[in-house]
Chain A
């Protein structure tokens, strides 16, 4: 296990690491590294530009590196060696044969970011990238608009880095997500309204204050962290791809970045398989990307979310159009499931794999079952479900569905009666 030195609180930056310049994915305009995420010309999204001449490691070299997302550092948006949040990533890929049987597929694995370090969701990956970008760009305060998991990740990693944080969340989030943010001591602000209201506010705040709002003006650097989930899936399978990956969708960014990651692995010659079919998972109460896939169109229609799956309740997803293209382009599809199905799927995952996920994970498992019902998977398929968050954060969602446990006196005969009753 490697150790990481923690900076003193309030420490200013000495950018031994540099963020890469960016280009617009729509019009191609190029920009110097800066806390900007939209094109100054067409307002399209920016993403980092990797030097074509950079040396890429092979499988053997990667195998010698520490088990974290930084073992793929050549595909992360920095020159030099990032120093913050070095121990995020490389979560387990768990074989799930009983769930495979339920779906009627040959193999099924859970990519288990429910145990991500440090804050138990895949958002640790994107924040690890963004916070190093903030440091490289000389920003002294970070922030985010969040449905909860990102708030946890920013608060935890900012505290560790000694950076002040401003975190904005809807006012109706689950208690564990609120407390699990506040405990790190950020400036935590609850905003009346849905996530989309919070997001709009933060887009305006990024214009007003000199903060690094990780999913607004650092978004180009932030999103690259998601790719590491795809790199890990391939490496953990022995440098090959599954045939299908099911991904929860809120803003749609994770799915688009997995698509990019699989393409980059093929470009680097690390994997030669055909890229997986990508499938999206949403809740019926907030399914704008699924609707877009089903319609075959290019214009996303926003929604007012109404679902227990608050972590994926984004009615106006910024990457919705790009995620829909990735699903169609890989031969995948999208499904949306009811809140009851989400709760049932949380329990199914727990009972068949020993993994306790939050509502977004329930939506992922339930959507995979729905896609199987639709005949989207074949008997030979090898499927990975991306489980992105931890069930301990959304206990409210399942509390009504779990029966009270019996309370007994400490007597053998009372246990014997229970055993007989269970049969």
Chain B
């Protein structure tokens, strides 16, 4: 499944772009693909246990993936995965 991934500025510089194209059947597979292609970005996407990194939130088409199965959330062609810094608001 082809997915477009959007990075915040603070992470875009680790990938030389704020918009990346990826493939996968789940959010986790998409993240693994991106992490493999951009090693500097990898530790800001997933922690040492392979779970989502604590200081970012992943939104799959506007939905926080923690409500849909985290990295197991399935993706479909044309989905958008947006990464937003977690420290904001309140």
Q: Which residues of A contact B (CB under 8 A)?
A: 26, 37-38, 40, 42-45, 145, 195-197, 199-200, 202-204, 206-207, 215-216, 219, 250-253, 301-302, 304, 314, 316-319
| Ranked 9 nearest A-B pairs via Cβ | A251-B90, A199-B89, A43-B55, A203-B88, A253-B90, A45-B87, A216-B88, A203-B84, A38-B85
Residue from the list B86, B89, B90 in contact with A43, Cβ < 8 A: B86
- On whether the beta carbons of B64 and A318 are closer than 8 Å, the reply is no
Residues from chain B with Cβ under 8 Å of A200 in the complex:
57, 59, 64, 84, 88
Q: Is B62 an interface residue (CB 8 A)?
A: yes
Q: Which DSSP category, helix, strand, loop or mixed, fits chain B's interface?
A: mixed
Interface residues of B in 1-41 (CB under 8 A from A): 8-11
- On whether the beta carbons of B8 and A204 are closer than 8 Å, the reply is yes
- On whether the beta carbons of B89 and A44 are closer than 8 Å, the reply is no
Q: Which residues of B contact A (CB under 8 A)?
A: 8-11, 44, 53, 55-57, 59, 62, 64, 66-67, 82, 84-90
Among B8, B84, B89, the most chain A Cβ lie within 10 Å of the Cβ of B89
Considering only CB atoms, which chain B residue lies closest to A45 in the complex?
B87
Given the known interface contacts A207-B8, A207-B9, the answer about A44 and B64 at a Cβ–Cβ threshold of 8 Å is no
For the complex formed, measure the closest distance between the CB of B42 and the CB atoms of chain A, giving whole angstroms.
13
Between A and B, how many residue pairs show CB distances below 8 Å? Answer: 77
- On whether the beta carbons of B62 and A197 are closer than 8 Å, the reply is yes
Residue from the list B56, B57, B85, B90 in contact with A317, Cβ < 8 A: B90
Residues from chain A with Cβ under 8 Å of B88 in the complex:
37-38, 145, 199-200, 202-203, 206, 215-216, 219, 318
Residues from chain A with Cβ under 8 Å of B82 in the complex:
204
Residues from chain B with Cβ under 8 Å of A250 in the complex:
90
What are 19 A-B residue pairs whose CB atoms fall within 8 Å in the complex? A37-B88, A38-B55, A40-B10, A43-B53, A200-B57, A202-B88, A203-B85, A204-B82, A207-B9, A215-B88, A215-B90, A216-B89, A251-B89, A251-B90, A253-B90, A301-B66, A302-B67, A314-B89, A318-B86
- On whether the beta carbons of A44 and B66 are closer than 8 Å, the reply is no
